[in-house]
Amino acid sequence: MTKHLSLVAIISICLLLSACHQANMKATEFVEQIPVRTVLKVGTLYGSQTYLRSDHGESGFDYEMAAKFAQYLDVPLEMVPYNNRQQLFEALRQNEIDIVAAAITTTNNRREQFLLGPTLYEVNQVLVYKSGNLKPRDFNKLQGDISVISESAAVDTLSKLKQSNPNLTWQQVSDSDNEELFSMVAAGDILYTIADSNSLLINQRYLPELRAGIVLDEKTQVVWLLPPLNSDYLLSSLLSFWHIQKRNGTLEHLNEKYFGHVKRFDYVDTRAFIRAIDNVLPEYQALFEKHAGDLDWRKLAATGYQESHWNPKARSPTGVRGMMMLTQPTASSVGVDNRLDAEQSIRGGAIYLQKMIDRLPASIPDSQRIWFALASYNIGLGHVEDARKITQGMGKDPSAWRDVKQVLPLLQQRKYYQHTRYGYARGNEAAHYVDNIRRYYDTLVWVDSQNKQQELLDIESKIEGELADETSLNADNSENPEDVIKSSAQ
C-alpha cells in the first residue's frame, strides 16, 4: 500500500513538473512573440496640426504626441511623411510603419481595416466654400461638384448622403492635400471641399476667404491607426500611455497649444494682417531679427503687430508710444530714449519681454513661458501672479497656460480680485491679447515657410537654367572633327 502511494506521488510530481515545464514554455513563447522594438516608425502627412519641419525644429500635435510615446517606449522616434493617404494606409498595411498619426478621423471603413487607438480630440466635419458665394444649405442644390481627397473620411460621408440626396456629386483627387484644396477654394478654382473644423480654423489664418457651410458630422473622433494584425502589444502600450497623458493634462495642453487660440476668427483683422506682411513688415523684419536675441523673431514681430500694427509713430491716450507701445518708465528701464524710433522701440520691447520671461517662476515650462510673459507684458507680472494663485486655489495648474488663460478673466470680478494683491485687471483682454499674438505668429511661420520653399524653387530653377546654358555653350563651342583635321593639314 505504501509502495502504491509512493508510486502515485512520484507520478503526480512528474505530471506537475511536466505541466510547469509546459507553462514555462508557453510563457517563453509568449514573451518571444512580443516584438523587440528598436525604433517607433510613425507615418504622417505634412500639415500645421500634424507634422511640420522648419529651421526651428519639428512641430505638430501628432508629432509631439508621437515623440512622447516613443519616449514612453524608450525607443527613438522616426517620423515618416507620405504624400497622400493611399501611400500612408498602404504603408501601414505592409507593416512598413507602426502607426499612422495624421489627424485621421474614425469611419466604419477604417474600423474594418485597422486597429483604432484612443480618442485624441474631436472635430466637426464641414463643407467649405468661399466667402462671397451663396452659402450652401442643401446638398441637392449645390452650384457644382465637391472636391475631396481620395480615401478621406469625406468620401464615406458623401456616399451615405448620396442615398438621401440623389443629385449629390463629387470628385476625388489623389494629387492634392487638404491645404491645396483650401487654396483652390479660396482662389475660386473649385467650389467646395470637405474638411475637419480644426483644419479649417487653422487655414483661415492664411486664407481668410474660407467659410464653413453645412456641418456633415459632429464630434467625430480623431485617432491613430495601427496595423490589423500583430499590434495587440503596441495597442496595449498605447492605451496605457494615453491614460497617463490624459491624467497629467498633456492632451489638454496640446489641444490648447494647437487649437485653443484659433477659435476666434476675425476676417477683417486677418486680411489686414496678411496685407501688412506684404506691405509693412519688409521694412522692419531685419530689425526684429537683429534684436530678438533668444526669442523667435516672429513672436517679437507678432507682438509688435498686436501693439501698434507695426506703426513706429503709434500713440495711445494712456501714454504708451511707438512700435512696441512702451510706457515712459519701461522705456527708461531698457535704455530707450526715443520711443518713436522703430529700432529703439523694437530693441526695448525685446529686452523687456525677455525680462518678463526671466522673472517667471521656474515651475513654468520653457514651452509656455512666452505666453505668460506676453500676458505680463500686457497687464503686468503682478496681475498674472494673482491669476496663478487663483488658478492654484481652484485646484488647477498655475504653471499651465491653458488653465491660467481661463482664470485671467476672473480678475475683472470683485469676488475674486478683492482678495488679490494687485486688485482689478482686464484679464479677459490679456487672454485675447495672447491668443491674437499666437495667431499672428502662426501666420508668420506659414508665410516664412512658403517664402523659403519658393526661394528653394527659384534656386533650383536658376541652377537648371545655368546648366542648360552651359550645355548649350559647350555644344556651340565644340569643334567638328573634320574641321580639326583640315586645320592640322593646313
Residue 57's H or E segment, with its range, is strand 57-59
Of 459 and 46, more confident: 46
Whole-model pTM? 0.69
List, as one string, the DSSP characters of 311-332.
-TT-B-TTS-BTTTTB-HHHHH
> How do strand 115-116 and strand 210-226 relate by DSSP bridges?
antiparallel
SS (H, E, C) 205-230: CCCCCEEEEEEEEEEEEEEEEECCCC
**Alpha-carbon distances of 308 from 26, 187, 193, 344, 345, rounded to whole Å:** 71, 30, 36, 15, 11
Cβ–Cβ < 8 Å for 177, 44: no
Res 304 pLDDT > 50: yes
Categorise residue 173: left if φ over 0, alpha if ψ from -120 to 50, beta otherwise: beta
Locus of grid cell 500611455: 241
Helices (DSSP H) in 262-365: which residue ranges? 267-279, 281-291, 297-308, 328-333, 342-359
Percent of the chain past pLDDT 70, that is, above it, reads 84
> What pLDDT, on the 0 to 100 scale, is given for residue 112?
93
User: How many angstroms separate the CA atoms of 424 and 201, rounded?
Assistant: 33
pLDDT in tens, 434-446: 999 999 998 998 8
Residue 165 one-letter amino acid = N
Res 10 pLDDT > 60: no
> What pLDDT, on the 0 to 100 scale, is given for residue 384?
96
Res 26 pLDDT > 50: no
Residue 152 DSSP one-character state = S
Of 213 and 490, more confident: 213
Q: One of 307, 385, 429, 482 is an active-site residue; which one?
A: 307
| Whether CATH 3.40.50.2300 fits 267-437 | no
Environment class of residue 485 by beta-carbon count within 10 Å: exposed (0-12), middle (13-18) or buried (19+)? exposed
Told to judge if 307 belongs to the known catalytic residues of this protein, a careful annotator would answer yes
pLDDT in tens, 370-395: 999 999 999 999 999 999 999 999 99
Q: Which three cell numbers stand for residue 473?
A: 555653350
Would you kindly state where each structural domain of the chain is located, as residue ranges?
Answer: 121-222, 267-437
First to last CA, the chain: 128
> What pLDDT, on the 0 to 100 scale, is given for residue 477?
57
> What pLDDT, on the 0 to 100 scale, is given for residue 151?
86
CATH superfamily label, 121-222: Periplasmic binding protein-like II (3.40.190.10)
Q: Using 50, 70 and 90 to split pLDDT, how confident is the model at 317?
A: confident
Average per-residue pLDDT for the chain: 85
> What pLDDT, on the 0 to 100 scale, is given for residue 481?
46
The radius of gyration computed from the CA coordinates of the chain, to the nearest angstrom, equals 30
Across the range 305-334, mean pLDDT stands at: 91
**Alpha-carbon distances of 11 from 16, 21, 372, rounded to whole Å:** 9, 15, 74
Domains 121-222 and 267-437 fall in the same CATH topology = no
